[in-house]
């Protein structure tokens, strides 16, 4: 149903758990992919565009670079993200700059640059979070940035639907990614034990795997979702933020 043969896609955060799964799934459906991350040397793709999303020039130039490398651009997946933990009074300026820069400013810049390049029938999919739709404890700036990208997605969806560009977002809850597992390890927890314990809090009995999120992103990027615009799709296994 989600045949993307001949489509050209840009994926940010392509070396991470969800990003790598998205790239693999897109290519399996016949899509040519340009990958962006700090280091994409280990990612199989048609074009590699390494760089730092905190650099405005790099983010601004990514859509044009992807289009030039692939011979076109039909899909943009803004997947790159960071998690800053802590309450507001525990958040440093560096935490703020990193979180806002990667989670909000970079996708804003990429969308702004991509929209004039995208043909009718194209799609942008942003990665928000359930934690941006409802308040969660101890992650004030992370929740704020994911709320911002969810709202931006809804606004852009309305603004650019008339040009045939569909803009939507996915909002995962916990996902079994290297970033999540590293976070557990830094806080002194065994990642396997912590992931298993988290799974018991989910009605479906497990936290998401990257492929669970990637499949929804592919759905939103494909013509199967041709009438879905400005929507934030929660992919949470039935687990609320609390």
Half-sphere exposure of 92 (CA within 13 A, CB side): 3
**9 — alpha (psi -120 to 50), left (phi > 0) or beta?**
beta
In sequence order, the β-bridge partners of residue 171 are: 234
Largest CA distance in the chain: 50
- Indicate which residue of 142, 171, 173, 241 is catalytic: 142
Q: How large is the C-alpha radius of gyration of the chain?
A: 17
Is residue 142 flagged as an active site residue? yes
Residues near 90 by beta carbon (within 8 Å), at least 6 away in sequence: none
Q: What is the phi/psi pair of residue 101, to 5°?
A: -65, -45
Q: 48 in helix, strand or coil?
A: strand
Which residues are tagged catalytic? 142
């Amino acid at each position: 149903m989600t045949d993307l043969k001949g489509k050209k896609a840009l994926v940010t955060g392509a070396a991470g758990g969800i990003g790598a799964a998205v790239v693999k799934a897109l290519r399996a459906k016949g899509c040519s992919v340009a990958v962006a991350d700090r280091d994409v040397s280990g990612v199989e793709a048609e074009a590699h565009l390494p760089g730092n999303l905190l650099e405005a020039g790099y983010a601004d130039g990514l859509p044009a670079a992807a289009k030039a490398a692939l011979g076109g651009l039909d899909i943009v997946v803004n997947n790159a993200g960071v998690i800053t933990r802590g309450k507001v009074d525990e958040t440093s300026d560096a935490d703020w700059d990193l979180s806002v820069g990667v989670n909000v400013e970079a996708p804003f810049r990429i969308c702004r640059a991509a929209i004039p390049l995208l043909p009718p029938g194209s799609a942008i999919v942003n990665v928000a979070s359930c934690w941006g739709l409802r308040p969660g404890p101890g992650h004030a700036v992370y929740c704020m940035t994911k709320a911002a990208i969810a709202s931006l997605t809804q606004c852009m969806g309305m603004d650019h639907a008339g040009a045939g560009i569909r803009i939507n977002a996915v909002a995962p809850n916990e996902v079994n990614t290297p970033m999540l597992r590293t976070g557990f390890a830094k806080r002194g927890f065994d990642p396997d034990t912590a992931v298993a314990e988290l799974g018991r809090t989910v009605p479906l009995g497990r936290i998401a795997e990257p492929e669970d999120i990637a499949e929804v992103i592919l759905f939103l990027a494909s013509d199967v979702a041709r009438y879905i615009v400005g929507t934030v799709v929660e992919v949470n296994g039935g687990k609320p933020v609390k």
